[in-house]
Structures are given as structure tokens and as C-alpha cells.
């Protein structure tokens, strides 16, 4: 997953992630260009999910927006 893939629709995806994992905060979901790994790590730490699960959720929300 590239930076550009999630950056475009990030505000919408961020809302979806907060609905899926209520423990996430806005600070957890601050997307700063070039720090995608840190963002995924924060989500993993807060939710206890694997990196693959987090990436899959982001991809699913992004794909839903594109449809």
C-alpha cells in the first residue's frame, strides 16, 4: 500500500477506522506523509490487530470509496 493510495480519502477512511476500532483517537490516526509505518504501528498497538488486518481494513474502506 502506498502513501498516495491512502492519502486521498484519508478523512473518510479515518472515520471508518474509528467506527471499526472505537479505541482509536484522532491522535492515533494523524496521517503524516512519509510516516505510514508509524501510523500502522499506532493502530496495531491500540487495537491489537496484525499489520495485515489493519492494511486490509484500510484497503477495504478505500476500495468501497472508489466503487
pLDDT-based confidence at residue 4 (cuts at 50, 70, 90): low
Cβ atoms of 13 and 6 closer than 8 Å:
yes
- Residue 20, CA distances (Å) to 23, 25, 49 in order: 9, 12, 12
CATH number of 3-66: 1.10.1470.10
pLDDT of residue 38: 87
Residue 59 CA to residue 53 CA, distance in Å, equals 10
Give the model confidence (pLDDT) of 11-64 as tens digits: 888 889 999 999 998 888 887 766 888 888 999 999 999 999 999 998 899 888
Residue 38 CA to residue 46 CA, distance in Å, equals 12
pLDDT of residue 1: 56
Amino acid at each position: 500500500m502506498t502513501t498516495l493510495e491512502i492519502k486521498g480519502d484519508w478523512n473518510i477512511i479515518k472515520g471508518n477506522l474509528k467506527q471499526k476500532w472505537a479505541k482509536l483517537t484522532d491522535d492515533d490516526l494523524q496521517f503524516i506523509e512519509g510516516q505510514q509505518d508509524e501510523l500502522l504501528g499506532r493502530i496495531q498497538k491500540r487495537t491489537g490487530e496484525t499489520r495485515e488486518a489493519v492494511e486490509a481494513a484500510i484497503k477495504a474502506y478505500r476500495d468501497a470509496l472508489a466503487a
